[in-house]
Amino acid sequence: MKFVARHRSDVLNLLEKRGIAQSEIEFIKRRGRICICHPGSGMRFCYLRKEETRLDPFTRQWTHVQWFKVKLNDSREQQVDNWELVMEKFDQWTLLVSNR
C-alpha cells in the first residue's frame, strides 16, 4: 500500500494541530500497513487501505470499493468505511499521545 499524498498531509496537519513535532513520530510501512509510532510513549497507530472492484449482481456494473482497517496500540483491528473515520480515530490517538 502506498502512503497516499493526501493521507500524509492530513496526518501531518493533525499532528501539527496537536502540537506533536514530526521529529517525535516515526512512519513505518509494515505488511501493507502504515504505522505511525511515538517512540517516547511506545504508542502506535496503524491503518491499512483495501481496494477492490466488485460486480454488482443487480445492475451488472463494476463498482470500486475502498475501506480501511485501523488499529490503535494493542486494541483489536476495526474496519471503517472512509478516510474521514480513519482521521477521527487518529485524532483520538493524538490526544492520548499529547497527554503523555
> Whole domain around residue 74: which residue ranges?
5-98
Tell me, what's the pLDDT at 41? 85
Low-confidence spans in the chain with pLDDT less than 50: none
C-beta pairs of 31-35 under 8 Å, 24+ apart in sequence: 32/1, 33/1, 33/69, 33/71, 34/1, 34/3, 34/7
Domain count, the chain: 1
pTM of the model: 0.83
| Rounded Cα gap, residues 34 and 36, in angstroms | 7
- pLDDT 10s digits, 20-49: 888 999 999 988 899 999 988 889 999 999
| Rounded Cα gap, residues 12 and 9, in angstroms | 5
CA dihedral 86, 89, 95, 100 (to 10 degrees): -100
